[in-house]
Amino acid sequence: MSTTPTLSVYNSLTRNKEEFKPLVEGQVSMYVCGPTVYSDVHIGNVRTFISFDVIYRTLLYLGYKVRYVRNITDVGHLLDDGEDRISKGARKLQLEPMEVVQKYTNGFHDVMRTFGTLPPSIEPRATGHIIEQIEMVQAIMDNGYGYESNGSVYFDTEKYIADQPELYGQLSGRKVDELLTETRSELKGSSDKKNPSDFAIWMKAGEDHIMRWNSPWSEGFPGWHLECSVMSTKYLGDTFDIHGGGNDLKFPHHENEIAQNMGACGCQPSRYWLHTNMLLMNGRKMSKSEDNSISPAELLSGDSKHITQPYHPMVIKFFMLQSHYSSTLDISDEALLAADKGYRRLCEGLKTLEGLGLSAKNQTPGARDAELLKLLDDIDTELCDDFNTPKAVAKIFEILPLINGYKGGTIAADQLSADALQQTSVKLQRIFSDVLGLQSTLDDQSGGGKALDHVMELVLDMRQSARQSKDWDTSDKIRDGLAAAGITVKDAKEGSTWTIN
Ligand code: AMP
Ligand code: ZN
C-alpha cells in the first residue's frame, strides 16, 4: 500500500474542511454526547452513534491511539415544560430514577451491541460527577461569569458576549441580538435571571423534585450543558481534539458548553467540532407524536406498518453508511430493500474474493494489478476525506466486478496476480469488519446464525422489560410480530425461548 493520505475533517466551528492534527502526535482525544436514558433510543440516535463509531474505528485503523469518551446523561436534561427527562420516566414507569437510568442504559448497550459498535474507552455518568460539576460552577462564578439567584446559578451571557463578542454564536451561526432575547427552557418557575438568554448551570430543586444533591447554593442538580463540559475536560483535559454529537445539539447545548469552558478556564474545549445530520422518515424528522417514527426493535422484528419485512442490523447499518454522516438520510422500506440487496452482493463478493485470495496461483505481476491496487488506495483516500463512507463503499463496489470477472473467466487468470488478490482480500476484510464494523449475513441465511441469536436476545429483552412494566400492548405486539415473521416465542418461569417455525 502507498503512504496513508492526510486526514481532513469538516470542523463545524470554522465551517471549513481542515487537516486533522491532534494535540499530541499519534493520539486522539474524542468526546461524544451520549444518550439521555429516559426512554428507548430511537433509530435516529443509533445513526449518530454508528457514525461516531465508524469515526472512532477509522482513527484506530489510521494508527492513532484514541481515548473515546461518550457519556450517559442521567440528570439535568429538561423537557420543554421544564421537567427533568429522567424524573418523567420515573413517574411514568413508577420506578426509582436510577432504575430508569439503568433500564435504558442496558437497553442502549444492547442496541449498540446489536449494531456491532465498539464500546467507548470511558462512559461517564453525569450523576457520578456532581462534585466536579459543583467545582466548575464555582470556577465560573469566581471568574465573574456566573451569578446566584434564589439558590440557582446562571451563566451570565451578557458579560460573556461583552468579553467574547466573536465567540457566542460562532458554532451555531446565531446572531448575538437573537441570542440575548431568546428564552431557554428552564426549571418551572425560575424567572430570576438577568437576561432571558442566561442559562442555569446549577438548578435549585423544587419540593417535588426527586433527584437532588447538596451544593453551596441549594439542594439541587446540575444543568445538562455543564455536565458535558465537566465530563469531557475531566477525562480529556481542558482542550481536546474532537467533540461530536448530532447537529440538533449545536445550539444551545454545544454553544453553551464552549461558553462554560471559556468561563471556567478561558479556553475552548475542542479543536474540531463534528456534527452528524438527522435521520428522517418520509422526508420529515422522526417524531413519535406524529406517527412518523420507527424503533430499532420494530426494524429488527418487521413489526411496523412502515416496513414490509424485518431487516438485519447489518443491513440497516450498511444503509446508513451509504450516506455521509453530515447529510440528512431518509429511511424508508424501499431504501432498506435496496440496501438488503446491495449488502448481499457485497458479502457474496467478499466471500468470492476470500476464496480467490487463497487459491490464486499466478505469481507473476498481472496487467490489471495496478487498477485493483489503486482502488484499494482510493478507499483510504475516501475514508481520510472526512470519513466519507459512501464513497469508500462505492470503491469496494468498483472492485467487485474485477473479482467476479476474474472468477467467471471474463478477466483472464494472468491479468491479476495472486499477490494482488491476496492483498485485496486482506484489506477489504479489514475495511469491512474493522473500519465499517460490518459482519457478513451470508451465514445467517440457513436460520439460527449468530447475528439472529443476538437480535432475538435483544428483542426478547425488550419484551421482558415491557412485561415487567406491565406494558402488555408492546409485549403482545412483539410476540405477534415475531409470529408473523415465523418465530414462535414460549414464555416460561425461567424466561422466554424462541423457535423458527
Ligand atoms: P439524546 O438522547 O436526545 O440526547 O440524543 C442522543 C444523540 O442522538 C444526540 O447526539 C442527538 O443529536 C442524536 N439524534 C437525535 N435525533 C436524531 C435523529 N433523528 N437523527 C440522528 N441523530 C439524532
Ligand atoms: Zn453533551
Say whether pLDDT at 189 is over 90.
no
Task: Determine which residue's CA is closest to atom 14 belonging to ligand 1.
Answer: 45
Check: CB of residue 86 under 8 Å from CB of residue 103. Answer: no
Q: What share of the chain is helix, strand, coil (3-state, %, to 5)?
A: 50, 15, 35
CB 316 within 8 A of CB 458: no
CA distance 367 to 353: 18
- Entry pTM: 0.88
Output DSSP code: residue 187: S
Q: What is the mean pLDDT of the chain?
A: 92
Query: Where do you find CATH 3.40.50.620 in the chain?
Result: 8-276
Using one digit for the tens of pLDDT, what is the confidence trace for 290-308? 778 899 999 999 999 999 9
Residues of the chain with CATH 1.10.730: 281-435
The answer to whether residue 211 scores a pLDDT higher than 50 is yes
Tell me how far apart the alpha carbons of residues 310 and 328 are, in angstroms, rounded to a whole number: 23
For residue 245, give the ligand 1 atom closest to its CA.
Answer: 10
DSSP-assigned letter for residue 174: -
Which pLDDT does position 107 carry in this prediction?
96
Distance 17 CA to ligand 1 centre (A): 23
Among residues 3, 7, 1, 118, the alpha carbon closest in space to that of 383 is found at: 7
Ligand 1 pocket, 249 CB below 6 A?
yes
Query: In angstroms, rounded to a whole number, what is the distance separating the alpha carbons of residues 263 and 140?
Result: 5
**Could you read off the pLDDT of 3-26 as tens digits, one per residue?**
789 999 999 999 999 999 999 999
Tens digit of each residue's pLDDT (9 = 90 or more) over 49-97? 999 999 999 999 999 999 999 999 998 888 887 888 888 888 888 899 9
CA 327 / ligand 2 centre spacing (Å): 21
In order of 103, 370, 402, the CA distances from 416 in angstroms are 54, 9, 9
* Closest atom of ligand 1 relative to the 244 alpha carbon: 10
Helices (H), ranges, 23-156: 43-61, 85-93, 97-114, 130-142
Residue 160 has a pLDDT of 96
Q: Which residue has the cell 475552548?
A: 268
Can you list the alpha helix ranges (DSSP code H) found in 152-196?
Answer: 157-163, 176-181
Q: Quick one: angle between helices 418-430 and 389-408, nearest 10?
A: 140
Q: Which grid cell sits at 438? A: 460490518
> Cell 467540532 appears where?
273
- 107-144 tens-digit pLDDT: 999 999 999 999 999 999 999 999 999 999 999 999 99
Whether the CB-CB separation of 225 and 241 falls below 8 Å is answered with no
Task: Give me the sheet containing 329-331, strands edge to edge.
Answer: 284-285, 279-281, 329-331
Residue 196, pLDDT score: 87
CA angle 98, 201, 68 (to 5 degrees): 65
Question: What's the CA-to-centroid distance between 39 and ligand 1, angstroms?
Answer: 13
pLDDT in tens, 390-425: 999 999 999 999 999 999 999 999 999 999 999 999
pLDDT at residue 90, rounded to an integer:
84
Pick the CATH number of 8-276 from 3.20.20.70, 3.40.50.620, 1.10.10.10, 2.30.40.10: 3.40.50.620
% of residues, the chain, pLDDT over 90: 72
Distance CA 314, CA 296 (A): 12
Protein residue closest via CA to atom 2 of ligand 1: 35
Q: Which fold has domain 281-435?
A: Isoleucyl-tRNA Synthetase; Domain 1 (1.10.730)
Question: What tens digit of pLDDT does each residue of 328-365 get?
Answer: 999 999 999 999 999 999 999 999 999 997 888 889 99
- Measured in Å, residue 249 CA sits from the centre of ligand 2 at 8
- Ligand 1 neighbour 246 (Cβ under 6 A): yes
Q: Is 163's C-beta closer than 6 angstroms to any atom of ligand 1?
A: no
pLDDT value for 494: 60
Handedness of CA 250, 242, 103, 215 (dihedral sign): negative
Q: Is the CB of 263 under 6 A from ligand 1?
A: no
121 vs 30: CA distance, rounded Å = 10
Going by alpha carbons, the residue nearest to atom 12 of ligand 1 is 246
Strand partners, 84: 78
pLDDT for position 1: 47
The percent of residues above 70 in pLDDT, for the chain, comes to: 95
Question: ∠ at Cα 174 (169, 178), nearest 5°?
Answer: 110
According to the model, what pLDDT value does residue 190 have? 53
pLDDT band at 447 (very low <50, low <70, confident <90, very high): very low
The pLDDT value given to residue 176: 80
Ligand at shortest distance from the CA of 247? 1
Burial zone of 189 (CB within 10 Å; 0-12 exposed, 13-18 middle, 19+ buried): exposed
DSSP string, 428-441: HHHIIIIIS-----
Quick check: bond before 296 cis, omega within 30? no
Do β-strands 27-32 and 65-70 pair in parallel, antiparallel, or remain unpaired? parallel
For residue 184, is pLDDT > 60?
no
User: Confidence class of residue 183 from pLDDT cuts 50, 70 and 90?
Assistant: low
